[in-house]
Structure 1
Amino acid sequence: MPSGKVRWFDAKRGFGFITSDDGEDVFLPASALPASVTTVRKGSKVEFSMVTGRKGPQALDVQLVGPTASIIRATRPEPDDMAAIVEDLIKLLDSAGGKLRRHHYPSEAESRKLAALLRAVADDFDVES
């Protein structure tokens, strides 16, 4: 049974591609996934049956092998780097807090920048199950 890794998968469009262990790109339709699975992550290891369709190889009866790959864990900053980021964020939040204590919101540009930074740091802390 061929195996490989999911190159990408778009649940909204209902398809994606697998890169087989021999380097071949294989079309992955949503209908080939197990009944309880609606999407797969990039990098997930899979085993599959394969047929040759009009446009090339197509996966059938896909089975997930092992744990699902975590993109967040793979791209997460080192703890020392994250500590510096958090310390800088605390300084920015302290500054915003001082303005709020004086009954003034930060400017719109400052607010947007702070909100974007908070979201980015939250994404780095987020852990997928």
Structure 2
Amino acid sequence: MSDRQTGTVKWFNVEKGFGFIIPDDARDDIFVHHTGIEQEGFRRLDEGQLVEFSVTNSERGLIAQKVTTLS
């Protein structure tokens, strides 16, 4: 799975550097780690923020990569 998808940030813990995205296609929530966010400086996402991302599959489930904000 490498096609770009869109979704909404469900929550993101700035202190721990991870959270979850609700994909627009209504599948299961997708894990996002701060290292998967493409932005300068401090990487963070805000609850309710619209994002675009690629998805990779890991042993623990789906992970969002190359995350960019749309809002």
TM-score range, shorter chain: 0.7 to 0.9
Amino acid across the alignment from 1:49:
S
1:40 maps to 2:45: yes
Report the Cα offset of residue 35 of structure 1.
Answer: 3.5
Q: Structure 1: how far apart are the matches of 2:36 and 2:14?
A: 12
Instruction: Give the number of aligned pairs.
Output: 66
Superposition map of 1:39-58 within 5 A: 39-58=44-63
> Higher RCO, 1 or 2 (CA under 8 Å, sep at least 6)?
2
Report the Cα offset of residue 59 of structure 1.
Answer: 0.3
TM-score norm. by structure 2 comes to 0.85
Structure 1: gaps of 5 or more residues: 67-129
Q: Structure 2: how far apart are the matches of 1:41 and 1:53?
A: 24
- The aligned residue for residue 127 of structure 1 is none
Which of the pair is proportionally richer in helix?
1
**Based on CA coordinates, which of the two structures has the bigger radius of gyration?**
1
Structure 1 residue runs of 4+, over 2 Å off?
A: none
Report the Cα offset of residue 23 of structure 1.
Answer: 1.5
Structure 2: gaps of 5 or more residues: none
- For the Cα contact (< 8 Å) 2:38–2:66, is it kept in 1? yes
Which of the pair is proportionally richer in strand?
2
Indicate the RMSD between aligned Cα atoms, in angstroms: 1.1
